[in-house]
Amino acid sequence: MSILYVLFMLVLFLVLAVIFIVAITMQSVWQMARGVSLTRVDPAQDSRAAKAEQQHAEWAYRQGFDTYLGSYLIRLGTDCYIAAWQHRQRPTYFCVYYTANRFLFDFATIFSENRGLTTGSTKDGQFLPKPPGDYIQTFSGLSLDEQFNQHAVSEHYLMTAGRLQLLSVPWTFEEAVLESIKMQAAYIQSLSMWPMRAPYWFFIRKGRLHNKSIEELHNAGMAPLPHEPGFQEFVYRG
């Protein structure tokens, strides 16, 4: 097998991969912009929803997430079951996702209608960018206790260094999820040549952002704070 043939096959593979990533990204963002379906389901009648709720309820209540908000089915590419709890003291949610026979976890704090913090358990959470002021950090291999602690540390950092305050918002959990998805899609579509950025986001960007706290991302210039001169507000008109 000649070197030229190997190089040709490598280039062909890369071209096809780029085309695939661009196509999937465009389809996903357009679906997000149209609005996704978030349907309440009964864990007693759906074994997949039951797995998300029953296996993590004890941990949730022990950590102060004593308001069970329900179980939901969301369709965005694939079916994903969500079990959600709210913390008793603050607008912070614990979400368990069951999809493709595995569990994923998010902690999300809403500071205001356009400020938030999400701490996720998968690098894929860093694929599509979020609007400035809607912060996300992702970590692999952490226990739930460790992930929740990372969320609390970054929440404190945003409230001190970032000068954010916890404000009540007129949203239910369902409304917060759907508005966040639409806002993210609108922000992505506001970026020039956004489909062409997808390969960079997928192959490079999410790896650079993964396993870094909000403080580390801020110090690296990748998570500007709202009061800083370089911060560019995104105005969402949904």
The answer as to whether 21 is a domain residue is no
Helix, strand, coil fractions of the chain, as percent rounded to 5: 45, 25, 30
Q: Which residue has the tokens 């389901």?
A: 41
Section 167-186 average pLDDT: 88
The answer as to whether 104 is a domain residue is yes
Instruction: Give tens-digit pLDDT for 81-129.
Output: 999 999 998 889 999 999 888 999 999 999 988 899 999 999 999 999 9
Residue 169 buriedness (CB in 10 A; 0-12 / 13-18 / 19+) = middle
- Mean of per-residue pLDDT scores for the chain: 91
List, as one string, the DSSP characters of 104-159.
EEEEEEEEETTEEEEEESSGGGGSS---TTEEEEE-SS--HHHHHHHHHHHHHHHH
The answer as to whether 15 is a domain residue is no
Query: What is residue 236's DSSP assignment?
Result: -
Residue 167: predicted pLDDT: 80
User: For the chain, how many structural domains are there in total?
Assistant: 1
Q: Do the bridges between strand 92-99 and strand 115-120 make them parallel or antiparallel, or are there none, so unpaired?
A: unpaired
Instruction: Give tens-digit pLDDT for 4-48.
Output: 766 766 777 777 888 999 999 999 999 999 988 889 998 888 887
Instruction: Give tens-digit pLDDT for 53-71.
Output: 888 999 999 999 999 999 9
The answer as to whether 212 is a domain residue is yes
Residue 8: predicted pLDDT: 64
Percent of the chain with pLDDT over 90: 69
The answer as to whether 14 is a domain residue is no
Please check whether residue 163 is in contact with residue 231, taking contact to mean a CB–CB distance below 8 angstroms. Answer: no
Residue (of 19, 39, 38, 73) closest to 182 by Cα position? 38
The answer as to whether 137 is a domain residue is yes
The answer as to whether 141 is a domain residue is yes
Q: CB pairs under 8 A, 24+ apart, for 82-88?
A: 82/52, 83/43, 83/49, 83/52, 83/53, 83/56, 83/57, 84/173, 85/57, 85/60, 85/61, 86/173, 87/63, 88/64
What's the predicted TM-score (pTM) here? 0.92
The answer as to whether 60 is a domain residue is yes
Q: How far is CA 177 from the centre of its chain?
A: 10
What's the domain range around 139? 39-219
